[in-house]
Amino acid sequence: MINKLKFITATIVLTFLTACGGGGGGSSTPSEDAQGFWVGQASTGYTISTAILENGEAWGIYSSGSTIYGALYGTAAVNGNSISIQGTDFNFLTNRSTAGNLTGTVVSKSSMSLTGNNVSLPAKYQTAYDTPATAAAITGTWTFTGRSNSYSLIPGSITIDSAGRFVLNQTNCVTSGSVVPRSNGKNIYNLTLSASGVGCAAGQTTMSGIVYLDATVTPNKFLSLALTPSKNDGVIVIGTKR
């Protein structure tokens, strides 16, 4: 299982928009654009949710039912419709971080198909990615579950104000943070966290990451992932609007 999980990593990837070389006439064929929010079920049974951003970063989580099993962070390159990807898997079952890679194909705003090490992942583009994030949509009170590489958060609720600010109190840990719309005009928020106390899930540190809001379901839900500066740990939180 560890080997399979290691190579699921590469499902979270962003693309650099390179062009494949043309013939003697100097023409070129644009590469597919892998930017977006992608969801699919890997052959291992995990649901992979991946945000592929415009700036070379990609963030994601994998889960089964309501249980979170790990986080993903990586980059990728696209040539034509072929993707070569690599990244890091933060596996919560083994409390280990491992590197892996996959190859596959992508069709812009439609589908990705990735394989490697006897693992396959068909993923579909989520059109909600194209709805711009707004402060009003994320404002309110949310119940949540979450965890880091080593600890589960105590389920509770957080209230995000109109400026995107919130404070989360856990046993022996206080985390303040902000969620603000990303400037790319897509359904992605920038997330920053600052944790202090002896019982913090990822230690006393600052973290940064992203939030994806799913307004297609009622009540609305969000998925968030923030990593430490060294990218060796982080916190996943799944929220449901009250």
Q: Is it the case that residue 202 has pLDDT exceeding 80?
A: yes
Backbone angles phi and psi of 46, in degrees to 5: -80, 145
Return the pLDDT at 34.
92
CB 65 within 8 A of CB 41: no
DSSP strand pairing (67-79 vs 15-17): parallel
pLDDT of 9 strictly over 60? no
Please give the C-alpha separations between residue 125 and each of 36, 129, 185, in angstroms, as whole numbers. Answer: 7, 8, 17
Three-class DSSP labels, the chain: CHHHHHHHHHHCCCEEECEECCCCCCCCEECCCCCEEEEEECCCCCEEEEEECCCCCEEEEEEECCEEEEEEEEEEEEECCEEEEEEEEEECCCCEEEEEEEEEEEECCCEEEEEECCEEEEEEECHHHHCCCCHHHHCEEEEEEEEECCCECCCEEEEECCCCEEEEEECCEEEEEEEEECCCCCCCEEEEEEEECCCCCCCCCEEEEEEEEECCCCCCEEEEEEECCCCCCEEEEEEEEC
Note the pLDDT of residue 55.
Answer: 81
Phi/psi zone of residue 203: left (φ > 0), alpha (ψ -120 to 50 degrees), beta?
left
How many whole angstroms separate alpha carbon 159 and alpha carbon 59?
24
pLDDT in tens, 172-186: 999 999 999 999 999
Edge-to-edge strand list for the sheet holding 206-214? 156-160, 140-148, 234-241, 221-227, 206-214, 189-196, 173-181, 165-170
Q: Is the pLDDT of residue 29 over 60?
A: yes
Residue 192 has pLDDT above 50, yes or no: yes
Q: What are the structural domains of the chain? A: 2-125 (2.40.128), 131-241 (2.40.128.380)
- Evaluate whether 181 touches 189 at the Cβ level (below 8 Å): yes
Cβ distance 65 to 2 under 8 Å?
no
Compute the distance between CA of residue 176 and CA of residue 157 in angstroms, rounded to an integer: 13
Q: How many residues does the chain have?
A: 242
Summarised one tens digit per residue, pLDDT across range 133-173 is 999 999 999 999 999 887 889 999 999 999 999 999 999 99
Q: What is the pLDDT of residues 56-115, one digit of tens each?
A: 788 889 898 878 888 888 887 788 998 877 888 888 888 888 887 878 999 999 999 988
pLDDT of residue 89: 84
Q: State the pTM of this model.
A: 0.85
Per-residue confidence (pLDDT) for residue 28, from 0 to 100: 63
Nearest-angstrom CA–CA distance, 105 and 155: 38
Confidence at 12, pLDDT banded by 50, 70, 90: very low
